[in-house]
């Protein structure tokens, strides 16, 4: 019923609008509008141009400087983030100046030079000096921006320092898996053919470096120390994006990538700064990857260095947690694997494991 009323009402409204349109058109024809090529609306349009300019500029400044309910700048928590943020606002200053000036010229000229029958336009086909000027000035300004951007880029993408903490991040539909190198500080090999429901990362246990690698539920990184993310994906392209660290790098299947940075504020610092006791750094997927693209969240915790060491030492190697994967370790390395992964009594664990399997059955 309601639908019918809506449909009838819309038809009526459209009908009325059409009638008004037809009547005004006919009145216009009778009045003899449209004989000259300058419509009577010319002045109105010129005025509207000016009105748009003024309200546009007011709106721009109002909303850019505090008119919005929320801040649109995410607090920065990395060393290079400060550099790029500075560059961002310098670029913003320059572009906004150009933006405002050119828009003023555009709409003001449109208003000022509206048609008048007792004036003729100024025949001004070209002016080499003027054109050289506005080819040259943008070229110089852009050169400055390019060079400062390029220097920042070179620093950011340089090889990570040797003392960087290494974290492996792997994207898959629709979550992240994270691996740390463990006590030996060396990430073990991986092979995508080793991936199964438990061994999400495809850790390759024929490499002894893998024995002490651990896979935590959250990323922990130390404040004030360089951190290198080694990034990969196992199904489609994902993108490791952490807006607070101004960090982003695609995760590409078959082509490992990396990004290193230095966090400058611990999670606790940030909770204090933002006044939000529940604040957490979030890792976000930023490359379309399928149905769950919008839900690939992972928490990053920035610890004070001492806390971090403590946390790091307390993690159990993945192999210890999933001791049945010992069977994948080559015979000659089994002992080494047990030692590295701190598996003290293999028989005991196997029996426990046997029990759990039994109970499933």
Partner 1 sequence: MSVTDIQITEDLAHDDHHEEHHEQSFIEKYIFSTDHKTIAKQFLITGILWAIIGGGLSIIFRLQLGFPEMSLEWLRPVLGKWITATGKLDSEFYLALVTMHGTIMVFFVLTAGLSGTFSNFLIPLQIGARDMASGFMNMLSYWFFFLSSVVMFVSLFIETGPASGGWTVYPPLSALPQAIQGSAAGMTLWLVSMVFFIASTLLGGINYITTVINLRTEGMSFSRLPLTIWAFFITAVIGLLSFPVLFAAALLLVFDRSFGTSFYLSEIYIGGEALPNMGGSPILYQHLFWFLGHPEVYIVLLPALGITSEIIATNSRKPIFGYKAMIGSMLAIAFLSFIVWAHHMFISGLNPFLGSVFMFLTLIIAVPSAVKAFNYITTLWKGNIVFTPGMLFSIGLVSFFISGGLTGIFLGNSALDINLHDTYFVVAHFHLVMGSASFFGLMAGVYHWFPKMFGRLMDERLGYIHFWMTFVGVYLVFFPLHYIGIAGFPRRYYSFTNFDAFSSFTDLNAFVSIAAILTFAAQFIFLFNFFYSMYRGRRTPLNPWKSTTLEWTTPIDPGHGNWPGAIPKVYRWAYDYSKPGAEDDFIPQHIPLSSTPESNLDHEKELAKSEGVADKKS
Tokens read off for 26: 């006919």
| Phi/psi-derived region of residue 254, left when phi > 0, alpha when psi is between -120 and 50, beta in every other case | left
15 counts as binding partner 1 under rule CB under 8 A: no
End-to-end CA distance of the chain: 58
Q: Which window, 117-125, 212-220, 221-229, 314-322, contacts partner 1 (CB under 8 A)?
A: 117-125
Identified binder of partner 1 from the candidate list 50, 57, 79, 88, rule CB under 8 A: 88
56 counts as binding partner 1 under rule CB under 8 A: yes
* Residues in 266-305 that interact with partner 1 by CB under 8 A: 276, 278-280, 282, 284-295, 297
**Cα 182 from Cα 320, distance rounded (Å):** 12
CA 147 to mean position of chain CA atoms: 24
Helix H or strand E encompassing 105? helix 79-112
Q: Which window, 109-117, 262-270, 330-338, 347-355, contacts partner 1 (CB under 8 A)?
A: 109-117
Residue pair 160/201 in contact (Cβ under 8 Å)? The answer is no
Q: Order across the sheet with 175-179: list the strands.
A: 175-179, 165-172, 227-233, 257-261
Kindly compute the dihedral angle of the four CA atoms of residues 5, 10, 13, 19, in this order, to the nearest 10 degrees. -120
What track of x and - describes contact with partner 1 for positions 151 through 170 (by CB under 8 A)? Answer: -xxx-xx-------------
Q: Which CB sits closer to partner 1, 34 or 330?
A: 34
215 counts as binding partner 1 under rule CB under 8 A: no
Tokens read off for 320: 């210890």
What track of x and - describes contact with partner 1 for positions 127 through 146 (by CB under 8 A)? Answer: x--xx--xx--xx--x--xx
Identified binder of partner 1 from the candidate list 208, 253, 301, 334, rule CB under 8 A: 253
Identified binder of partner 1 from the candidate list 105, 185, 218, 348, rule CB under 8 A: 105
**Cα 186 from Cα 229, distance rounded (Å):** 13
49 counts as binding partner 1 under rule CB under 8 A: yes
Q: Which CB sits closer to partner 1, 42 or 351?
A: 42
CA proximity to 259, closest of 283, 284, 229:
229
Q: Which CB sits closer to partner 1, 241 or 308?
A: 241
Q: Which CB sits closer to partner 1, 257 or 322?
A: 257
Q: Which CB sits closer to partner 1, 113 or 185?
A: 113
206 counts as binding partner 1 under rule CB under 8 A: no
211 counts as binding partner 1 under rule CB under 8 A: no
246 counts as binding partner 1 under rule CB under 8 A: yes
3 state SS of 183: coil
Residue pair 288/270 in contact (Cβ under 8 Å)? The answer is no
Phi, psi of 288 (to 5 degrees): -50, 125
Q: Which CB sits closer to partner 1, 87 or 346?
A: 87
* Residues in 302-361 that interact with partner 1 by CB under 8 A: none
What track of x and - describes contact with partner 1 for positions 22 through 41 (by CB under 8 A)? Answer: --xx---x----x--xxx-x
Q: How far is CA 237 from CA 71, 171, 194, 215, in A?
A: 31, 8, 20, 21
Identified binder of partner 1 from the candidate list 2, 5, 30, 121, rule CB under 8 A: 121
């Amino acid at each position: 019923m309601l639908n019918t009323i809506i449909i009838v009402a819309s038809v009526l409204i459209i009908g009325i609008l059409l009638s008004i349109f037809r009547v005004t058109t006919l009145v216009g024809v009778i009045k003899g509008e449209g004989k000259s090529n300058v419509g009577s609306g010319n002045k109105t349009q010129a005025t509207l141009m000016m009105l748009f300019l003024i309200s546009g500029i007011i709106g721009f400044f109002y909303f850019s400087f505090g008119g919005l309910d929320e801040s649109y700048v995410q607090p920065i928590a990395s060393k290079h983030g400060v550099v790029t943020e500075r560059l961002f606002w310098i670029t913003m200053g320059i572009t906004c100046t150009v933006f405002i000036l050119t828009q003023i010229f555009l709409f003001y000229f449109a208003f000022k030079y509206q048609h008048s029958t007792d004036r003729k336009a100024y025949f001004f086909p070209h002016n080499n000096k003027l054109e050289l000027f506005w080819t040259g000035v943008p070229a110089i300004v852009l050169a400055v921006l390019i060079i400062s951007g390029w220097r920042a880029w070179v620093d950011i993408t340089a090889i990570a320092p040797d003392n960087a903490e290494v974290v492996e991040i792997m994207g898959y539909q629709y979550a992240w898996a994270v691996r740390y190198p463990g006590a030996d500080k060396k990430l073990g090999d991986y092979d995508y053919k080793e991936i199964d429901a438990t061994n999400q990362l495809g850790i390759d246990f024929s490499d002894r470096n893998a024995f002490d690698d651990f896979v935590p539920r959250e990323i922990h990184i130390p404040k004030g120390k360089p951190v290198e993310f080694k990034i990969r994906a196992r199904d489609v392209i994902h993108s490791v994006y952490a807006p607070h660290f101004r960090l982003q790098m695609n995760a590409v299947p078959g082509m490992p990538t990396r990004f290193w940075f230095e966090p400058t504020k611990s999670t606790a610092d940030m909770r204090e700064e933002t006044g939000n006791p529940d604040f957490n750094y979030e890792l976000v997927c930023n490359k379309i990857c399928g149905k769950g693209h919008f839900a690939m969240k992972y928490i990053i915790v920035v610890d004070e260095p001492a806390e971090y060491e403590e946390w790091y030492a307390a993690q159990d190697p993945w192999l210890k947690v999933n001791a049945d994967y010992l069977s994948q370790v080559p015979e000659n390395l089994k002992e080494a694997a047990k030692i590295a992964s701190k598996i003290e009594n293999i028989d005991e664990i196997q029996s426990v494991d046997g029990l759990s399997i039994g109970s499933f059955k």
